[in-house]
Amino acid sequence: MREWPQIAPLLETRGLPKVDHMMGGRYVPAVIDFFDRQYGLNQGGAAPLAPDGVEDFEKWRQKQKRHS
């Protein structure tokens, strides 16, 4: 991505790990954690959305038969 050199410093101000010059790059697990937090995926194992109720598979099967 050609825009990355301009985007990376902006993301670093929000917590993106900086390049470790001794190692020659960013620590990948920390980068993944940063983006997981950005997108709300790092909730400590909690599902990002609340369950919407008990599934009724029989009702779903009946709908599938009608649309076939």
In angstroms and rounded to an integer, the radius of gyration of the C-alpha atoms of the chain is: 21
Residue 59: Cβ-neighbour burial (10 angstroms; 0-12, 13-18, 19+): exposed
Question: CA 28, CA 14: separation in Å to the nearest integer?
Answer: 16
Question: What is the pLDDT confidence band of residue 29, given thresholds at 50, 70 and 90?
Answer: very high
Question: What is the pLDDT confidence band of residue 32, given thresholds at 50, 70 and 90?
Answer: very high
Please tell me the pTM assigned to this model.
Answer: 0.59
At 34 the pLDDT is 92
